Structure 1
Amino acid sequence: MKNVLRLVFLIFLGCSSVSCEWGSGGNILKRASGPRTIENYNSSWLFQRQEGKGSKWEKVNLPHSVKIEPLIVNNQWQGTSVYRKSFNVGAPDGKKWFFHFEGVMQEARVFINGNEALIHKGGYLPFTVDATPFLVPRSENRIKVEVINKDDSTIPPGKVLKDLDFNLYGGIYRNVYLIKTNEIYITDPVQADVVNGGGILIHFDDPNEDKASGIISTHVRNESDKDRQLSLDISFTDRNGKTTNFKSTEYDIKAGEELTITRKVEIEEPLLWSTQQPNLYNVKVEVKDGRKVIDRKELRTGIRSLQLTGKDFFLNGEKIFLNGTNRHQEYPYIGYALSNEAHYRDAYKIKEAGFNFVRLSHYPHASAFLEACDELGLMVMNAIPGWQYFEEGDFVENAIQNIKDMARRDRHHPSVVFWENSLNESEMPEEFMVRANEVLKAELPYSSIYTAGWIDHSSYDLFIPARQHGKPPGYWNLYDTPHRPILIAEYGDWEYYAQNAGFNQKAFNDLKEEERTSGQLRGAGEARLLQQALNYQEAFNSNLKGGQTIGHANWLMFDYNRGYARDLEASGISDIFRLPKFSYYFYKSQKAPGKDKFSEPMVFIANYWTPQSTTSVRIFSNTEEVALYLNDELIERKTAEINEISDSLPYPPFTFELENFHKGELRAVGYINDQEAARHRVQTPEMPIKIELEADLSGTNINEKGVDVIFVYARIVDKNGTLVPTSTAPIEFSLVDNPKNAKIIGGYIINAEAGIATILLRTERFTESIKIRANSHSLGESVLTIKNP
């Protein structure tokens, strides 16, 4: 029912995007809204990689990656590719035609009917092409996009791929829209290029539960040949359907000119946005010429107050600690070409893990991800592209433009609480840092806008070092400044991985110590997964011991590929397929027990209970007491273990010492107020005998109108349904009846890792169920019917 209500709400909004103000939602192929139409333009492109005479054109739908890569990407494809699409233009009707691109990696050259319409440099932020001057009426027209994805030091992050800590996957990897408006229209905020303006801009000053007072500015362009007198109708509608209306006086706008119309707004008893109650407002602005509506735009935003002091962070007047993670927007095989729903599922998993905050690493992520954070109640640190690189000249100018475009795209997301206008781990000169902060403050000149930088410079509001940038054993616990708090932007991996080796990434082969590293694949085995969880616990606990730390973000949520490394970066608390490791449950246990699905009481036994397992059984729980049973015999009921690496944790782990291993069942029961609140059981795995299939939807249905990607897991289990974590059996996947709207990505025969084999399933216009088969010569066959609830 939740998914149905969510879809209804998105349709009611007309568009789901706060960021680009007219919608990135792949759920709606076409939306006609009176004078303005928005058409999803993702389908039926022709695509070609320019690899010589043998290059062929193929028909593709967006989002699209220029090449399907292997699971471990050691030689990512780089080069030039071409996308093209034909479209019909009727008789002249006075309409403006715009093509809006949410993201192209990383240089795009757009041609309309052979005419160069725009060159855009930068892979993470949107751009809009005004196609109107190049259209040929009453004929077939063509749009062509040359996508150049090569090393380019002038385009942030700037560093060559072979030395970069992440990958730059080429292609038109986000959504494309065709927008048609009248000649008088509300602009796109990025395309308009107006400081603290363009499009629709909303700001509230220090709202509270009684009243929210602020302004709404609307930037209108008149490309007709007549002077006009315009007025605006504005409405704010909350989740309950309560609407507050505002009207403007009439304004004169001359032919060929543009105008910013600003009006004061006040909402009584607003529903504030918070992590527990992520209330959102649908905002509608209508431009009228007399009684006629000549343009209409809708966006979604939230109302909340932020305050950052020298030592604390407040949301809506409540002091809050930011317990967060980092995320890369990468999927296996397809790189960055995620559907909107896939971005939502990532945000959903981050929320499920107990986090209230996510840092975008190390670039602006898709609008769809920010929309999900808005909807789910996740606070966000937005970031411009950058990692260990700086050069003067065009690189600087492009970085500054990234700051402007990021601010203009994302200024209405209530989830965005910090702006990392800093080139991550890069030696930025003071002049750049000062200029970067001045540019952002000009774009968003409000007291609740807070900048963040990894260098401790007075121009930043927040200092965001990684834990390893400090010195053990105190790290940042003794940091002391009267003006600037600290948020530990990364922790838990590098200080264990390379013993504080600094930035000499090339030296990791000589420094890696397998018993200490937090980089552990899910199949690394029980002992090493426990070590990873212990590392995160120790660092988490240490971070809470000092001074001015308002929050922290672990490194990281999901495993990913790196340009400079020959293996996966495996510090994720979930693997690249989004399957949790033991560390995931440690974090889930650190959130106070509540009644909603994101904060339920929980208990987890971090043990497979095999003859090789440790008999020192570690249990993660947010309950007051835990009882452990072995084969229904009570071992002990106790409170949590308090020691030097758990004494500051909200919910320290429980440790039970068993004398010997005995085959059977471990059962943990968690108690709150002496009442059972949660339970978990593990059972000694026996011989694997069958496959159980599961599709991961994580809070949202499969897209029925466009492209989607989901994970399908084949679990190898014994006769009791217990996962066999030692199994690496090859599983062969196939689609029953060869459906035209689905494709297996990444291979059909997959070796299980820790008892689970995973495929990526790509769907298009998912209107009918799909059957997927998994089989093995020793385990038999299993068939799963995938359908939306």
Structure 2
Amino acid sequence: MTRLEHPINTHWDFISEDHPEFALPSYAGPRTQVSVPHTVREVPHHNFSESDYSFISWYRKSLSFSEAHKGKRTLLHFEGVMLAAEVFLDGQKLFEHQGGFTPFQVDLTDHIVPGREHLVAVKVDSRERTDIPPYGNLVDYMTFGGIYRDVYVRVLDPLHIENVFFRGVDVLTSRPFAEVDVTLNNTSTSSKQAELEIQLLDAANQQVAATTATVSVEVHSLHTHTLKLENLADLQLWDIENPYLYTLRVSIRGGDTLDTRVGFRESEFRADGFFYLNGRKVILRGMNRHQTYPYIGAAAPKRLQEKDADLVKFDLGCNMVRTSHYPQSPHFLNRCDEIGLLVFTEMQGWQHIGDQGWQDLSLKLLEDLVVRDRNHPSIVLWGARVNESPDHTLFYTRTNRLVNRLDPTRQTGGVRCFFGSEQLEDVYTMNDFAAKLTKYPAERYLVTEYAGHMFPTKSFDQEPRVVGHALKHADVLNQIGVLGISGGIAWCAFDYNTHATFGSGDRICYHGVMDIFRQPKFAAHLYASQQRPEQKKVLFAATYWTRGDVDEGLINPVWIFSNLDRVEVYVSGKFEGEAQRATCLYPHLPYPPFRISNISGGWGENFGDLELRGYLKGEQVKTHRLAADGIPRKLVLQADDAEIHADGADLTRLSLKITDEYGNALPFAWGPVLLDCEGPGVLVGENPLVLPGGQAAVYLRSTLISGTVTVTARVQGLPVQTVQVKTLEVGVQPVLEAVLNG
């Protein structure tokens, strides 16, 4: 049979305390019904403690299986449980997993009886245990607890496909081919012979290549066989501009089938110091990304994971993301594959190396990461070193040897924060926060963090700070061009929650070019302006246009971030002149910022609305206006999605802004905003909601009921705003034999 895989994310019972009796059917105490992804406790967006979620909790769910499951392997697959998990069936402990960022499976086969209802229970330990990475010392991020990624039931034949590893070879030549390692698992009591078939399907699901092989697999053993796909005519490469994906279909004739999305591409950090993708030099412009969100911690469903990738690629105009400092959601990586966003992913940890047991566990979790993710064409570099940790020759020799064995096709990096650190990896990856970057004498070199804590900036800071923050990033991007290196990855994309030792004392590190709600600071517009105008036309005046928020009351100069050819500046409808590109200051940026000095608005002068008119190829294509009076005129409420799934876990962001008459967020118009929700949905976030920097967000979570949700937002003195979101019924695969509770 073809494998069955179905999410079992709904109808989990949850208690937020350590109660071992919860694993037993006899438990009759209180509980809450939840869907996963789930966080053990929702928190404010700031001003909370890690103790709010660092405790032991329990989840449980009833499952039963039909007679059709006899002779099959039945597995529970958890994509991620933070930080440690113990899994029970009918009160019997079957499995324990340590580590919150990689998946694990529990084999139920020998413990289930068809037709009988069984109780699965999971004890979740969300404490910051020093025996489990990343802990052991201080950590500059939070590991919010819970079953925070998807859970699946898998039903497999006794002889099934354990995993596959796809490698495109000679893809830039006239005779490209692919090698595919297929690992078979024979869990039966006799040796088996398998007729393997591999098909390569294009985006239209048409076969472009195929091959077969006969393989023998001994009793209770794993066997890996390598097959080759040749005669690949008219091959389309995966690239950041054209991320073409194929489907690799591996089948055991008459049995198991596994589909994997793959891409053909060649990536390499070369000895000349640059990165090449498919033989073309690409200057890497990237962002570091934490997987956490306000209110929900890390328990973000597929929709939000994909949205983050889109923000980095399309809103910020970047071509790379670093999954700092741990493996991240498969949904996020899948979206990077789809949109052509390069990925540097790394092992979990932060500055600390523990004892031998800690190191051995790190090696196991690193292996899980590589095996899980090595078919993603977007991944071009493995992080085989704990971020910013000290040198450790023995440990990092082991990590690099492991990665090279599991995936010899990609290079390794190891992010450090001090020059002279021992290089055991292929690429010298360095967090360089100096005002002037250093070109370290390594053949292959990548700056993996810059700016960040050297210039923390809130969206509601004084204008010189938020402008200076953007120009700090512009300066580093320019220096990367001066040094002639492969590129840089900024710290960081989004503000994030952290421990008290770090950040601004309110449990937020304000290091992002976007705030914690994924809304832009001025620096976000600087990055957006570095992409080609055919990708996105950008015109943004980096000013609040308020005289009293700058020294001496003089807004001089006005900085403008744009990728257009020409910008005209008007005040009160009067032409002030053309802004000039600051090419002399930023000659190595694709699109240096514009600036204009000594325009109207000084003391004693008419101070009217500011208007920018942007031109491309002689045609006016974009306008940006800012009101001079600073008076709130509008409350803006927007939902990222018009429809979400009625599965009890799906979320869409509801963004709120108080703006001037032209739609610009007013940085000191904080609300508060009162929110009401009618229909089958639940608001997640603070209510009433204060808008730091004039903008913030909450989330709308679905229930298990389909329908229309209406959210209403009110703020004193402005018109009431409403938005509607439909929640759509989620279909269940009729072929699935598992009968789920509810």
TM-score, with structure 2 as normaliser: 0.90
- The offset of 1:684, in angstroms, is 2.5
Asked if 1:620 is matched to 2:597, the reply is no
- Figure out how many residues of one structure are paired with residues of the other and give that number: 699
Q: Secondary structure at the match of 1:612?
A: helix
Q: Residue in 1 aligned with 2:655?
A: 713
Match of 1:504 in 2: none
CA separation in 2, counterparts of 1:103 and 1:669?
49
> Does 2:77 correspond to 1:108?
no
The answer on 1:462 being equivalent to 2:399 is no
Amino acid at match of 1:37: L
For residues 757 and 449 of structure 1, the distance between their equivalents in structure 2, rounded to whole angstroms, comes to: 40
Q: For residues 49-64 of structure 1, what are the structure 2 equivalents within 5 Å?
A: 49-50=16-17, 56-64=30-38
CA drift at 1:226: 4.0
Cα–Cα, structure 1 residues 134 and 524, in superposed 2: closer, same or farther, change >3 Å?
Answer: same
Change (3 A) 1:788 1:674: farther
Structure 2 residue aligned with 1:243: 207
The separation in 2 between residues aligned to 1:638 and 1:616, in whole angstroms, is 10
Give yes or no for the alignment of 1:74 onto 2:48. yes
Verify the 8 A CA contact 1:418 1:452 in the aligned structure 2.
Answer: no
The question of 1:731 aligning with 2:706 is answered no
Q: Which residue of 2 aligns with 1:269?
A: 234
Cα distance in 1 for partners of 2:176, 2:593 equals 43
* Pick aligned residue for 2:394 from 422, 431, 434: 431
- 1:374 has 2:337 as partner: yes
Give 1:207's aligned residue: 171
Instruction: Indicate yes or no: 2:712 matched with 1:768.
Output: no
Distance 1:435 1:714 in 2: 49
Q: Percent identity?
A: 29
Deviation at 1:767, TM superposition (A): 4.2
Q: Post-superposition shift, 1:145?
A: 0.8
Where do residues 161-172 of structure 1 align in structure 2 (5 Å cutoff)?
A: 163-172=138-147
Equivalent residue for 2:690? 751
- Of residues 671-680 and 414-423 in structure 1, the stretch that sits farther from structure 2 once superposed is 671-680
Aligned match of 2:591 in 651, 654, 671? 651
CA distance in 1, matches of 2:395, 2:188: 41
Residues 233-280 of structure 1: per-residue CA shift (max 9 Å, x gap): 221112244322423132333443333232111222211111110111
Contact 2:387 2:414 in 1 (8 A): no
- Alignment of 1:449 with 2:411, yes or no, is yes
The reply to whether residue 490 of structure 1 matches residue 449 of structure 2 is: yes
Matched residue SS, 2:312: helix
1:731–1:757 CA contact under 8 A, matched in 2: no
Asked if structure 1 preserves the Cα contact closer than 8 Å seen for 2:655 and 2:698, the reply is yes
**1:452 Cα shift?**
3.5
Deviation at residue 685 of structure 1 after TM alignment: 4.4
Q: 1:51: Cα distance to partner?
A: 6.0
Q: Deviations over 1:303-351 (max 9, x none)?
A: 1011221211110010111100101001101100000110000000101
Aligned-residue offset at 1:591: 1.7
Aligned to 1:675: 619
Provide, for residues 145-172 of structure 1, a one-character-per-residue CA deviation record: whole Å limited to 9, x for no partner: 1111222222111235xx3200011110
User: Hey, what's the Cα distance between the residues in 2 that align with 1:562 and 1:747?
Assistant: 19
SS in 2 for 1:294: coil
Native 8 Å contact 1:165 1:562 kept in 2: yes
Q: Which runs of 5 or more residues in structure 2 are unaligned?
A: 22-27, 550-554, 729-742
Task: Please tell me whether residue 610 in structure 1 is matched to residue 546 in structure 2.
Answer: yes
Within the alignment, does 1:99 sit opposite 2:58 as a pair?
no
Q: Secondary structure at the match of 1:539?
A: helix
Using a 3 Å threshold, how does the CA distance of structure 1 residues 38 and 629 change in structure 2: closer, same or farther?
same
1:314 aligns with 2:250: no
CA displacement 1:624-683 (0-9 Å, x = unmatched):
322112233221124301334x23222111111134324433222233343334332222
Q: Deviations over 1:342-385 (max 9, x none)?
A: 00000001012110001111111111111111111100000111
Q: Is residue 42 from structure 1 mapped to residue 42 from structure 2 by the alignment?
A: no
- Distance across 2 between alignment mates of 1:765 and 1:667: 48
State which of 573, 583, 597 in structure 1 corresponds to 2:513. Answer: 573
**2:160 maps to 1:185:** yes
Aligned pair partner of 1:666 in 590, 601, 610: 610
What is the identity, as a one-letter code, of the residue corresponding to 1:335? Answer: G
Give, in whole Å, the separation in 1 of the partners of 2:574 and 2:97. Answer: 67
Distance in 2 (CA, whole Å) between partners of 1:788 and 1:582 is 34
Q: Please report how far the alpha carbon of residue 102 of structure 1 lies from its aligned counterpart in structure 2 after TM superposition.
A: 0.4
1:257 and 2:216 are equivalent in the alignment: no
- Contact kept in structure 2, 1:158 and 1:390, CA below 8 Å: no
Deviates more, 1:250-259 or 1:199-208: 250-259
Could you state the TM-score of these two structures normalised by the residue count of structure 1? Answer: 0.85
CA distances 1:407-440 after superposition (whole Å, capped 9, x unpaired): 1000000110000111111113111121111111
State the secondary structure of the residue aligned to 2:100.
coil
Q: 2: CA distance between counterparts of 1:766 and 1:272?
A: 43
2:308 match: 346
Q: Does 2:98 correspond to 1:157?
A: no
What is the rounded CA distance, in whole Å, between the counterparts of 2:445 and 2:704 in structure 1?
Answer: 46
Query: Would the alpha carbon gap of residues 585 and 394 (structure 1) be closer, same or farther in structure 2, given more than 3 Å must change?
Result: same
Report if the CA contact (8 A) 1:453-1:460 is conserved: no
Asked if the contact 1:492/1:540 (under 8 Å) is kept, the reply is: no
Q: What SS does the corresponding residue of 2:475 show, helix, strand or coil?
A: helix
On the 8 A contact 1:341/1:703 being kept in 2, the answer is no
Name the stretch that deviates more: 363-372 or 711-720. 711-720
How far apart are the structure 2 equivalents of 1:286 and 1:783?
51
1:330 is aligned to 292
Does the alignment pair 1:634 with 2:575?
Answer: yes
Can you list the C-alpha shifts for 1:52-105, whole angstroms capped at 9, x where unaligned? Answer: 899841111000001111211531221111111111133362121011000000
- 1:87 counterpart = 2:63: yes
* Structure 1: gaps spanning 5 or more residues: 1-33, 188-198, 498-517
Whichever residue aligns with residue 600 of structure 1, its letter is: K
Aligned residues of 2:384 and 2:412 also touching (Cα < 8 A): no
Partner AA of 1:540 in structure 2: L
Alignment match, 1:532: 469
Q: Are 1:559 and 2:495 counterparts?
A: yes
1:607, distance to aligned residue in structure 2 (A): 1.7
CA RMSD, 1 decimal:
2.3
Which of 476, 479, 486 does residue 550 from structure 1 map onto? Answer: 486
Indicate conservation of the 8 Å contact 2:644/2:725, yes or no.
no
Structure 2: how far apart are the matches of 1:591 and 1:405?
35
1:685 and 1:724 in contact (8 A); partners too:
no
Q: 2 CA distance for matches of 1:686 and 1:323? A: 35
Distance in 1 (alpha carbons) for counterparts of 2:727 and 2:148: 25
Partner of 1:508: none
SS of the counterpart of 2:451? coil
CA contact (8 A) 2:284 2:487 kept: yes
**CA separation of 1:73 and 1:206: change in aligned 2, threshold 3 A:** farther
The letter for the 2-side match of 1:752 is L
Tell me how far 1:396 sits from its aligned partner: 0.6
Query: Per-residue deviation at 1:765?
Result: 5.3
Matched, 1:361 2:324: yes
1:688 matched to which residue of 2? 632
The one-letter code sitting in structure 1 at the alignment partner of 2:615 is Y
Contact 1:228 1:254 in 2 (8 A): yes
Alignment partner of 1:300 out of 257, 261, 264: 261
Paired with 1:71 and 1:249, the residues of 2 have a C-alpha distance of 55
Pairwise CA distance, 1:718: 5.0
Equivalent position SS for 2:132: coil
Greater alpha carbon shift after TM alignment, 202-211 vs 557-566: 202-211
In the alignment, the residues of structure 1 paired with residue 673 and residue 114 of structure 2 have an alpha-carbon distance, to the nearest angstrom, of: 55
- Residues 463-478 of structure 1: matches in 2 within 5 Å? 463-468=428-433, 473=436, 475-477=437-439
What SS class does the counterpart of residue 548 from structure 2 fall into? coil
Change (3 A) 1:623 1:690: closer
Please tell me whether residue 520 in structure 1 is matched to residue 457 in structure 2: yes
Question: In 2, are the aligned partners of 1:453 and 1:462 still within 8 Å (CA)?
Answer: no
Q: Which residue identity does 1:249 align to in structure 2?
A: A
